[in-house]
Copies of this chain bind each other. A is one copy, B any other.
Amino acid sequence: MAFFRKHYHPPGTAPGSLQAHPERSEKPCRFRAIRFHKEHFEVAEDSEFVPDARATVPEGQVTWLHAQGQASGKQLAAIGDFFQLHALALEDVHNTGQRPKVEEYDDQLFLILALPHFADGEVSLHQVSLFLTTDTVLSFCDGPSDPFEPVLKRIQQNASKLRSRGSDYLLYALLDAVIDQGFPVLEAFGLELENIEEKIVDGGGRETLLRLHAMKRELILLRRMLWPQREVLNKLMGQENKLIKDETLVYLRDCYDHTIQIMDLLETYRDMSVSLVDIHLSSVSNRMNEIMRVLTVIATIFIPLTFVVGLYGMNFSNSASPWAMPELRWYYGYPLVWLVLIVITIGMLWFFRRRHWL
């Protein structure tokens, strides 16, 4: 994940512009239109846009239009025209990488959410945009896979609550699917973190540290994008718009609890990763100290020994003076030197042990 993820127009551009971003390859976008009421249900799955989705909506039916992938500026403009969406909201759908938020326009609600995704040991975030009007829900998901498959399946079951309730309950179901996606991602993340903890306690090396750093980085970015979702739900619950019925509020509260749990987990993971860095540093320095200590002790023992043997390598002429190293001519001179060497060695070992340096 890059640090800077937002798409934006050049400063000074008129608000509501939908210019193409040259650096982004416009992937094809798949649209799906669903219309249902209590007894009825129909899906129009197409790779093309379905503009007449709302053409003849009978009373009491809910229409759900889902766009998977990155819609082009033209497609967005067409949808915006048809459903009369606010230009600033469309701009936010277009410029992905937005911060989650809820925006209330006269007769419609606009939400941006972040959908976490975990693959190949790496976390990524995708933008999900939702529009709610009295009988329509529009959803745009800028990710590789559709997070709303289970919701679709639930709609297809006849006895489903989703069928008998209005568009606001459908919005809740979509919200819930996006937010709950955080749990498996964070569970995988937590397992990875415990994994790294084990390696670090066992004295992991440089790669472990870099992996930990990468995870801290992902945590920072996750926090930045998931933190505002809490506020989104808070605002959603507190607003007095008639678009969300009172009986749906208790479900949104449940959703809100989930966002808090996710933030709690992120906080915990952050604390853990900080703590792991400490452990790593101290275990690296511990290990290093141990090595240096043993090696230095070895060197220190041999240095006096080398001095002693050097001493008797001196070439003082024993013919010139009886004071010139008479030890060299003693009968037990050489064994005595060995005795001295052994005594020094044992003495130093004893000294080091007593001081707990070995």
Please report A residues at the B interface, Cβ cutoff 8 Å: 2-4, 6, 8-15, 86, 88, 98-99, 101, 103, 105, 147-151, 154, 160-162, 173, 176-178, 180-181, 183-184, 186-187, 190-191, 193-194, 201, 206, 209-210, 213, 216-217, 220-221, 224, 250-251, 253-254, 257, 260-261, 264-265, 267-269, 271-272, 275, 277-286, 288-289, 291-293, 295-300, 302-307, 309-318, 320-321, 323-325, 328-335, 337, 355, 357
Contacts and interface: CB of A to CB of B under 8 A. Distances in A.
A173 B16 CA distance: 12
Given A12-B149, A317-B328, A321-B331, A288 B282 contact: no
A236 to B, nearest CB: 16
A120 to B, nearest CB: 19
- SS of A interface (majority): helix
Given A12-B149, A224-B264, A333 B306 contact: no
A348 to B, nearest CB: 9
A11 B181 contact: yes
Contacts of A184: 10-11
Contacts of A253: 103
B254 A15 contact: yes
18 contacts: A2-B194, A3-B190, A11-B177, A12-B148, A12-B150, A12-B151, A86-B250, A224-B268, A284-B286, A295-B300, A295-B357, A306-B310, A310-B313, A313-B315, A314-B315, A317-B329, A321-B330, A323-B331
A14 B293 contact: no
A154 to B, nearest CB: 6
A131 to B, nearest CB: 16
B315 A325 contact: yes
A6 B263 CA distance: 13
A22 to B, nearest CB: 14
A254 B154 CA distance: 36
Q: Which 7 A/B pairs are nearest by Cβ-Cβ distance?
A: A12-B150, A4-B190, A312-B314, A11-B180, A313-B313, A309-B310, A320-B329
Nearest to A227: B264
Contact of A154 (B12, B88, B191, B335): B12
